[in-house]
Amino acid sequence: MKMTGAQVVVNCLIEQGVDTVFGFPGGAVLNIYDALYEYQSRIRHILTCHEQGAAHAADGYARSTGRTGVVIATSGPGATNLVTGIATAYMDSVPMVAITGNVNVGLLGRDSFQEVDITGITAPVTKHNFIVKHAEELAPTLRRAFAIANSDRPGPVLIDIPKDITAAQIDYTPETPKPDVETNTPLPDLGEALDLLTQSQRPFIFAGGGAVASGACDTLAAFAEKIDAPVALSLMGLGSFLPESPRFTGMLGMHGSKASSYAVENCDLFIALGTRFSDRVLCHTDSFAKNAKILQIDIDPAEINKNIPVFASVAGDLGTILTALLRQLPDRISHTEWMKNVQAIKANYPIDRPLDGDTMPYAVLSTLHDLAPDAIVTTEVGQHQMWAGQYFHFTRPRHFLTSGGLGTMGFGLGAAIGAQVAHPGEHVINVAGDGSFFMNLNELATAVTYDLPVIELIMNNGVLGMVHQWQQFFYKEHYSHSVLDRQTDLSALARAFGALPFTIARPADIRPVLSESLQSGRPCVINCLIDPGENVLPMVPAGKPVGDPILSLEKGGGNETH
């Protein structure tokens, strides 16, 4: 059948099961937006306040559902405004398709109005990108983009479409997406991995975002039980292993637990599952797991031996590999003494509360968990992000959405909007710092416009918290431009946007404010006042071994103990 290129775009989205797109219109994508109007009963469009917010919303939609998020932006600045959001998705392996408009094919390369080489700009931060210069290539390119975004290690794909391609009349033949086809690829050799697992006396499992992406959470639990090992998670892996399990040792790395640092220092086999060995995990590469052999299992062969040399590796889907290992491992493996030692450290240095007594962030987040244990929590980046990872006990995958790789301040509110659109019946809370909040507060208007009951929980300490903490620890308390002197009345601001305002000024406010906001069914802004001396601990100083964390520090001072 004949239709315009723009209609082909929308029909291909419908083919791929897309029910929601996020975006912001402009001249180069007006044909696509006209087609969206025509098909509005089949695809919902969420108009954000800024293209970056749209990209983060598509990202949040994808992370919380496992389906591909879709974002649309116009040419030039509309396209470049997507770049941070695309890079955020790329670093965290999130499936996304970004569709940008461009000037007519004949105007490309002439510095035309709102022309930019967006494929050149995004080449380093996309899994693949395309520019469609021939109308007949449009449908195959869109279908290929979705296949690439979802295959192997997921990631973002960009399609740049000149305006005259969307106006062209072309033949379109509908296609049903082909299901993932089992290629009958033989399993890689597991012999070396099996030997290591059966010979180890002190195994330690470290799982990352790959456990979530592969849907391997139950298999991970069975694997840990089978080899009788403790389990730590990366920030991206939270929710993939039950925090109440006696095997769980918390996070590992710069802000990991003492129990995890003990385990990595004393294990004889370090088993890395679906994790890329970030510098924030390794801390000091040369001393990391120095007493252990490292076994790495990852879907992306490029991650193996990239950041740290490993003794053995298996490349493949984590769930598939773990299932095969479970079938081939002996029935009874026991490491009683090892587990006993790890649990003793965990008892002395609890992973689920601050090491130096109750704090406002702990009280707020633990109470929030009591009231809404299954909430989807997004975060911005900074101290509040780490507190959320430490104190909100995530029991389900895809319920903790955070920018782990790129560390994008401004990510959380957009991501919360995307998650709330995808899960209208669930509580969605964005935990923010006051520094991050001012980077994306415009998206409060989006939440209110679409009546999305997102809760914006601002940990307001009047400083750029993590920067301030580093300056306190390592820069002789020279708080250079990290103290915020905002005069904004956050309650008045919330009301101006149409959101409900709340303030937590003292511990007695916590439960009633959180309860009322959760029950309101409306967008809320909670201004939670905390002391700027509240720090994220433990903390491994940059370049120091992961087993040597700072465990306590006098608030406002520089006296540290290990």
Residues annotated as catalytic (active site), given as ranges: 51, 113-114, 163, 466
171 CB-side CA count, 13 A: 1
10 Å Cβ neighbour count for 13?
Answer: 26
Residues contacting 375, CB < 8 A, separation 6+: 368, 399, 426, 427, 428, 429
- Checking DSSP bridges between strand 128-131 and strand 156-162, what pairing results, if any? parallel
> Would you say the C-alpha torsion 269, 271, 277, 280 has a positive or negative sign?
negative
Going by the DSSP 8-state scheme, the letter that residue 177 receives in this structure is P
- Residue 434: closest CA among 508, 509, 364, 383: 383
177 and 16 Cβ atoms separated by less than 8 Å: yes
DSSP per position, 257-326:
-HHHHHHHHH-SEEEEES----HHHHSSGGGTTTTSEEEEEES-GGGTTTSS--SEEEES-HHHHHHHHH
Residue 296 CA, distance from chain mean position: 21
- Residue 233: closest CA among 402, 58, 366: 402
Instruction: Spell 120-141 as b/e; 16+ CB within 10 A means b.
Output: ebbeebbbebbbbeebeebbeb
Instruction: Spell 20-45 as b/e; 16+ CB within 10 A means b.
Output: bbbbbbbebbbbbbbbbeeeeeebeb
250 and 390 Cβ atoms separated by less than 8 Å: yes
| Residue 157 φ then ψ, to 5° | -130, 135
Residues contacting 554, CB < 8 A, separation 6+: none
Distance CA 328, CA 415 (A): 40
Distance CA 367, CA 377 (A): 14
DSSP per position, 404-421:
-SS--TTHHHHHHHHHHH
Let me know if 186 is exposed, middle or buried by CB neighbors in 10 A (0-12, 13-18, 19+). Answer: exposed
